[in-house]
Amino acid sequence: MNATLLTASAPTRARFSFEVFPARSGAAALALGHAVQHLSAAGPDFISVTYGANGSNRDASLDLLKYLRDHTDALPLAHLTTVTEDRETLLAAVHAVMDAGVHDFLALRGDPPRGVGEDDPRVSGSLSALELTELIAQARAERPAFTSVGRTAVAAYPNGHPLSRSRAEDIEWLIAKQEAGAQFAITQLFFAAEEYLSFVSEAQSAGLTIPVLPGLMPVSTSGQLRKVAQLAGRPAPVELERELEEAGGYAPELGVEHTVALAEELLAGGAPSIHLYTFNRHEQVLAVLRALRLLTPDPVGA
């Protein structure tokens, strides 16, 4: 079959990727192993693995990246944070990830550890995500065989990062990260498509050229919805909040419904793909993809 013709005539399906975090117990690790098999079988562009600020779960992150590399078909992507870490430690951490055969990174500053303020010198003196992006490029340059292997992603904030004073400042900073070598961005959670679409449109007018993947999380509980609202920096949709409460605080299908509607608007508005925060479960995110017709029946079986 002629691959070029196939590509030219086939309708382009939107793409997707997932985020997981290291398990915090043996039982959770078993459940996560099961979940990532299903996630991998869905054929994502990558599965990203979170990293505890100040290196608190560095080994667990690395173990999970290795598990993905050795036991699934998915491309692992390593989150890395700088908070409270010095340059040497960070460079060693980048090399450790590369030694594990993982070459894709999400370069982050990370949040301050619990009880430590933004103005604490251990936090304010940390490298920024921009400097980490440069450090990852340096680590690649130290290994000529891998210089052109792997991509670096960075975070973007459609509703603004708490440290920035305006959208313009957030956009300027994202463009600076692009200039430092970032090849794509993944957003913080948000509730309304317009928040993402207007942010990307303004950023593109200001010179952003890299793709910005919208980060979406189908919530199951009222507690998760409150957490998302906190991260999004916006109140949760009143109707979703009410419906979840009426369902006794737990209704995974409502989170799926809301995420499907949001993803449809985003993809129709030009989002290049969707990045799904899985909360280490596969059922809800696969239900979202199925409803969006981005998934053939789950090959592993539900």
Residue nearest to ligand FAD (CB): 164
Minimum distance, C-beta of residue 186 to ligand FAD, in the bound complex (Å): 4
Residue closer to ligand FAD, measured from CB, 37 or 128: 128
Residue closer to ligand FAD, measured from CB, 141 or 163: 163
Minimum distance, C-beta of residue 289 to ligand FAD, in the bound complex (Å): 19
Q: Which residues bind ligand FAD (CB under 6 A)?
A: 50-51, 53, 79, 81, 106, 108-111, 128-129, 155, 157, 161, 163-164, 169-170, 173, 186, 188, 215
Q: Are 155 and 210 in contact (CB under 8 A)?
A: no
Residue closer to ligand FAD, measured from CB, 160 or 255: 160
Residue closer to ligand FAD, measured from CB, 169 or 253: 169
Cα-flanking dihedrals φ and ψ of residue 34, to 5°? -65, -45
> Beta strands of 89-233 (E only): which ranges?
104-108, 152-156, 184-187, 212-213, 215-216
Minimum distance, C-beta of residue 112 to ligand FAD, in the bound complex (Å): 8
SS (H, E, C) 186-212: EECCCCCHHHHHHHHHHHHHCCCCCCE
Contacts of residue 118, defined as CB under 8 A and 6 or more positions apart, other chains included, come to: 112, 124, 163
Active site residue 253: no
Minimum distance, C-beta of residue 51 to ligand FAD, in the bound complex (Å): 4
Written as six digits, the tokens of 37 are 């098999």
Contacts of residue 68, defined as CB under 8 A and 6 or more positions apart, other chains included, come to: 36, 40, 47, 49, 74, 76
Name the one residue in this structure whose structure tokens are 């944070």.
81
Cα-flanking dihedrals φ and ψ of residue 150, to 5°? 90, 155
Residues annotated as part of the active site: 19
